[in-house]
């Protein structure tokens, strides 16, 4: 387990649900990855993210999928691409990422509470 954080620190992490609108290959990434465009609703809008999820997901199955992402990180440049949010997931036994998602449809931008 990592170090203990306070409730106030946890509340600063803005985790939202968004729907994947576009998926592109990201050949300039060091490890195989996709470039995603994700709709987080009218309050946040559409953000882009780079995700190393090519082992478990095809581009086609990601379209329309709802994912959970941190939306209040600063932009991060990866090669020639700016990632604006962090899509969350868990590593399997080989270190490949399984996305965090919701089991029922939610409005885009719904916040973890």
Q: List the chain domain ranges.
A: 7-99
pLDDT-flagged residues of the chain (< 50): none
> What pLDDT is stored for residue 82 in this prediction?
97
Cβ-contact 1, 70 below 8 angstroms: no
> What pLDDT is stored for residue 113 in this prediction?
87
Average pLDDT for the chain: 96
Tens digits of residue pLDDT in 68-85: 999 999 999 999 999 999
Homologous superfamily of 7-99: Nucleic acid-binding proteins (2.40.50.140)
């Amino acid at each position: 387990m990592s170090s203990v954080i306070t409730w106030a620190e946890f509340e600063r992490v803005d985790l939202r649900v968004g729907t994947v609108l576009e998926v592109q290959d990201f050949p300039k990434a060091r490890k195989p990855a996709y470039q995603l465009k994700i709709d987080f609703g009218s309050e946040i809008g559409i953000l882009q993210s780079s995700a190393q999820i090519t082992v478990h997901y095809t581009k086609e199955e990601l379209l329309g999928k709802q994912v959970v992402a941190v939306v209040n990180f600063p932009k991060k440049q990866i090669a020639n691409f700016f990632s604006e949010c962090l899509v969350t997931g868990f590593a399997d036994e080989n270190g490949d990422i399984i996305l965090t998602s919701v089991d029922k449809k939610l409005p885009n931008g719904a916040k973890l509470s």
